[in-house]
Amino acid sequence: MNKNDRANFGSKLGVILASAGSAVGLGNIWRFPYETGNHGGAAFIIIYLGCILLLGLPIMISEFLIGRHSRANTAAAYQILAPKTHWRWVGRMGVLAGLLILSYYSVVAGWTLEYITEALTNSFSGKSSADFIASFQGFSSNPWKPVLWLIVFLLATHFIIVKGVEKGIEKSSKIMMPMLFIIILVLVVCSVTLPGAQSGIEFLLKPDFSKVDGSVFLGAMGQAFFSLSLGMGCLCTYASYFGKDTNLTKTAFSVGVIDTVVAVLAGFIIFPAAFSVGIKPDAGPSLVFITLPNVFQQAFGSIPVLAYVFSVMFYVLLAVAALTSTISLHEVVTAYLHEEFKFTRGKAAKIVTGSCIFFGIFCSLSLGVGKEYTLFGLGLFDLFDFVTAKIMLPLGGLLISLFTGWYLDKKIVWEEVSNQGTLRMPLYKVFIFILKFIAPIAISFIFINELGLLR
Burial group, residue 296, by CB count within 10 angstroms (0-12, 13-18, 19+): buried
| Beta carbon of residue 324, minimum distance to ligand PHE (angstroms, whole number) | 9
Q: Least separation, in Å, of the C-beta of 110 and ligand PHE? A: 14
Exposure b/e, 201-212, CB count within 10 A at least 16 = b? bebbeebeeeeb
Counting beta carbons within 10 angstroms of the beta carbon of residue 84, is it exposed (0 to 12), middle (13 to 18) or buried (19 or more)? exposed
Complex with ligand PHE: residue 62 or 297, whichever CB lies closer: 62
Contacts of 384 (CB under 8 A, 6+ apart): 100, 101, 103, 104, 359, 363
Compare residues 227 and 297 and give the one whose CB is closer to ligand PHE: 227
- Closest approach, Cβ 161 to ligand PHE, in A, equals 14
Do 230 and 397 meet the contact criterion of CB atoms below 8 Å apart? yes
SS3 at position 415? helix
Q: How far is the CB of 318 from ligand PHE (least distance, A)?
A: 10
Alpha-carbon gap, residue 431 to 438, rounded angstroms? 10
**CB-closest chain residue to ligand PHE:** 27
- The helix (run of H) or strand (run of E) holding residue 93 is helix 88-120
CB 102, min distance to ligand PHE, A:
8
Residue 5, classed as helix, strand or coil, is helix
Neighbours of 309 (CB within 10 A): 14
Query: Residues 454, 440: contact at Cβ < 8 Å?
Result: no
- Of 29 and 348, nearer to ligand PHE (C-beta) is 29
Q: Which is nearer to ligand PHE, 36 or 276 (CB)?
A: 36
Query: Shortest approach of ligand PHE to residue 101 CB, angstroms?
Result: 5
CA atoms within 13 A on the CB side of 259: 36
Cα–Cα distance for residue pair 449/443, rounded to 1 Å: 10
Of 29 and 307, nearer to ligand PHE (C-beta) is: 29
**Closest distance to ligand PHE from the beta carbon of 237 (Å):** 10
CB 5 to ligand PHE: min, Å: 25
Whose Cβ is closer to ligand PHE: residue 241's or residue 275's? 241
Please give the torsion angle defined by the CA atoms of residues 257, 259, 260 and 266, in that order, rounded to the nearest 10 degrees: 140
- Closer to ligand PHE by Cβ: residue 173 or 325: 325
Comparing CB distances to ligand PHE, the nearer of 90 and 432 is: 90
**Site of interaction with ligand PHE (CB under 6 A):** 22-23, 25-28, 101, 226-227, 229, 232, 234, 325, 328-329
